Amino acid sequence: MPSEQHLIVRIREAVATVVLNRPERHNAFDDTLIKALTRTLEDLERDHRVRALVLTGAGKSFSAGADIHWMQCMATYTREENQRDALGLARLMDILYRFAKPTIARVHGAAVGGGVGLVAACDIALAAPAARFCLSEVRLGLIPAAIAPYVIGAMGARQARRYFTTAERFDAREAQRIGLVHEVAEDEADLDTRIEALLQGLRHNGPQAMQAAKALVRDVAGRPIDEPLIRDTADRIARLRVGEEGQEGLTAFLEKRDPQWCSAATD
Q: Which residues are catalytic?
A: 137
CB 109 within 8 A of CB 57: yes
Evaluate whether 118 touches 105 at the Cβ level (below 8 Å): yes
The whole-angstrom separation of Cα 125 and Cα 136 is 20
Q: How far apart are CA 121 and CA 114, in angstroms?
A: 10
- Sequential DSSP letters for 52-99: EEEEEESTT-SB-SB-HHHHHHHTTS-HHHHHHHHHHHHHHHHHHHT-
SS3 54: strand
CA distance 182 to 164: 20
